[in-house]
Amino acid sequence: MSKELRQRIAQYGIRAKKGLGQNFLSDSEYVYRIVDAAELSSGDVVVEIGPGPATLTPHLAEAVGPEGKVLAIEVDESLRPLLMDLCREYPQVEILWQDALKVDYDAVTAPYRGDKPFTLVANLPYYITTPIMMGLLEGRFNLSHMVIMVQKEVADRMLARAGTKDYGALSVAVQYHCEVKLVTKVPPGAFIPPPKVSSAVVRLNRRRQPPVHVFDEKAFFRVVRAAFNQRRKTLLNALGGLGLEMTKTEMSERLAQAGIDPGRRGETLNLDEFARVTDALYR
């Protein structure tokens, strides 16, 4: 694959653009692992963000077959000749020349999937991983699961458990919306050009229901952000950042009633405990 990719890059005169996060996956072992983890079937609709020089795209097209659809979103117009040739070879592939941050994913997939959810697969441009991912989760699109390549550090944060050094607002947000699994770690040498950091592929299964019930979801995320904004402070002090009209004594009493020690640090709270804190303060 490495040789094939190099040939394709040379044939179409492609130069990897650092500013667009272009590190192309050249080791076919990882391409197969990503496509396998997506568990696609014939007729499925899959969205790919950033097809680049079509490293994953033909494999996705084969997995969904001629009855399926691959919608690949790309901003780099210099890839047009290569990707147009790919579309001729695989008519089920369509390129959307748009910024992935601005796409209405339900609207673009609806004509092909009816009421069925779509799948998302991407070797994400690292400079916009978090906004893309959070946009997809918070946008409440009809998405069943995603298989995405991210920086290893970001994968560690997505998978982190309460009380560990990687645990933060991103961990809570991702775990609130999804069940997260590590698919594989990927070394820099698997890419052309090799990035400076290690990478990892994760699979995120969208939950039908959040794992904890909260009375006010927006308040839940405000509490989480406040707790991690000042992660070295006690929960009681960190929650002062919420600006609630409540004395510290009252706040402390409410937390204690909810079974949460106000002297704990916010970073030790799991999702259920954050939910209890939120309900105690906002209900």
Q: Which is nearer to ligand SAM, 53 or 168 (CB)?
A: 53
Question: What residues contact 132, with CB distance under 8 A and at least 6 apart?
Answer: 49, 100, 101, 122, 124
Task: Determine whether the annotation assigns residue 23 to a binding site.
Answer: yes
Structure tokens at 189: 């040498």
Residue closest to ligand SAM when measured from CB atoms: 50
25 is in an annotated binding site: yes
Annotation-wise, does 99 bind a ligand?
yes
Task: Measure the CA–CA gap between 131 and 145, rounded to whole angstroms.
Answer: 17
Dist CA 219 CA 216 (whole Å): 5
Tell me: is residue 243 an annotated ligand-binding position.
no
C-alpha span between 280 and 278 (Å, rounded): 5
Backbone angles phi, psi at 262, to 5 degrees: -65, -15
Q: Which residues pair with 151 in a beta bridge?
A: 199
Q: Give the integer Cα–Cα distance in Å for 127 and 237.
A: 33
Report the nearest approach of ligand SAM to the CB of residue 101 (Å): 6
User: Which CB atom, from 150 or from 227, has the smaller least distance to ligand SAM?
Assistant: 150
3-class DSSP state for residue 253?
Answer: helix
CB of 241 to ligand SAM, least distance (A): 32
Closer of 25 and 174 to ligand SAM (Cβ):
25
Q: Which of 125, 150, 117 is nearest to 49 (CA)?
A: 125
Task: Quote the Cα angle for 96-97-103, to 5°.
Answer: 65
Least separation in angstroms between CB 55 and ligand SAM: 4
Closest CB 10 distance from ligand SAM, rounded Å: 16
Binding site for ligand SAM (CB under 6 A): 20-25, 49-52, 55-56, 73-76, 99-101, 123, 125, 128
- Cβ atoms of 262 and 236 within 8 Å: the answer is yes
- Measured from the CB atom, the residue of 92 and 199 that comes closer to ligand SAM is 199
CA distance 93 to 46: 10
Asked if 252 and 236 touch (Cβ cutoff 8 Å), the reply is: yes
Q: How far is the CB of 79 from ligand SAM (least distance, A)?
A: 7
Between 33 and 264, CB nearer to ligand SAM: 33
Closest CB to ligand SAM among 52 and 168?
A: 52
Q: How far is the CB of 98 from ligand SAM (least distance, A)?
A: 7
Helix then strand then coil, % of the chain, to nearest 5: 50, 20, 35
**Residue 50 among known ligand-binding residues:** yes
Binding site per annotation, positions for S-adenosyl-L-methionine:
23, 25, 50, 74, 99, 123
